[in-house]
Homo-oligomer: A and B are copies of this chain.
Amino acid sequence: MSILVVGSVAFDTVSTPFGEVREALGGSATHFSVSASFWSPVRLVAVVGEDFTGAHRQPLLDRNVDIAGLTTAKGRTFRWSGVYGDDLNSARTLDTQLNVFADFKPEVPQAWRDTPLLFLANIDPELQWNVLEQVRGAKLVAADTMNYWIDSKPEALKKLLGRVDVLLINDGEIRQLTGERNLVRAVAAVRRLGPQAVVVKRGEHGVLVFQGTSAFALPAFPLESVMDPTGAGDAFAGGFLGYLASRGLDGERDFRRAAVVGSVMASYQVEDFSLDRLMRLTEPEIRDRYARFQELTRFSPLS
């Protein structure tokens, strides 16, 4: 089953205690697409500038991502620059240049308007709504967001959430969105806005998944070396939704496995800069780390 993603394709300049990259391929839709492509066919809707070359498209093509929805506009590609300190949990943004993204009017190719799984990656909630209106055939709608939109467009975001089935959001953001410090109550508040499933991303502390009456908690994989956390959340979303799509519409029963798959993809994502680790990732490596997650979390009944 195909997934359609709309989000950013960007050039990232990132510095961490372990190195740096300049104008490396990044953006929420890019990281999502590469990760999801291990599991399901991916259709990408985004905009880039005239400085986006064939070489920049190549990693997406190598992963069989369908880029028929990647339009080129006059101007420069979106750029982001950030630095991580010793605490790799959050980046300090040095510079954001919207460039072609400032006037982005996403247009979903006609043939894609019945894509069954739609992922609205972290962009302006008004653009997310615009895409949602076009993909009328979507059976499952998932969305991400960030503090910037919670602050600046809370009403547009809340309107959008009324039509979102699965919200992926980090712990700080769900507290900000709901004004609830307690995560269980924050999730309940979000579900009253619309999403029936909520995935709370907690960075190095793992992930919490609430769906129906079920709660699932998974720690993050304890890594000895984290090079660059950029894209971890999008790689998680790619694995999570890519796996669900691969299971067909019954996929909703597989939310637990999907969260483990997402965590596997995110754990590899942070092992190198930009797309470098996922571009050389193999299926045996994925299966190996999934098995290690089982070993990491297993325990016996009380006797």
Tell me if A206 counts as interface (CB < 8 A to partner B).
Answer: yes
Complex Cα spacing A287 to B261, Å: 30
Contact (Cβ within 8 A) B216 A296? yes
Which residues of the partner chain B approach A298 to less than 8 Å between Cβ atoms? Answer: 256
CB distance from A259 to the nearest CB of B (A): 8
Residue of A214, A216, A217, A226 ringed by the most chain B CB atoms within 10 A: A217
Would you give the 0/1 interface string for A183-216, flagging 1 where the beta carbon is closer than 8 Å to chain B? 1110000000000000000101110100000111
Q: Is A257 an interface residue when CB atoms closer than 8 A count as contact?
A: yes
**Cβ of A222 under 8 Å from chain B:** yes
Interface SS, A side: mixed
A300 at interface (Cβ–Cβ under 8 A)? yes
B184 and A223 contact, CB distance less than 8 A: yes
Report the nearest B residue to A87, measured CB to CB.
B181
Cross-chain contact of A224 among B185, B214, B223 (Cβ < 8 A): B185
Q: Mark A286-298, 1 if CB is under 8 A from B, else 0.
A: 0100110011111
A275 close to B (CB within 8 Å): no
A184 and B299 within 8 A (CB): no
* Chain B nearest CB, measured from A190 CB (Å): 14
Instruction: Name the one of B205, B217, B287, B296 contacting A296, with C-beta atoms under 8 angstroms.
Output: B217
Q: Within 8 Å of chain B (Cβ to Cβ): is A182?
A: yes
Provide 7 A-B residue pairs closer than 8 Å at the C-beta atoms, listed in order of the A residue.
A182-B223, A182-B224, A216-B296, A217-B219, A218-B219, A291-B301, A297-B299
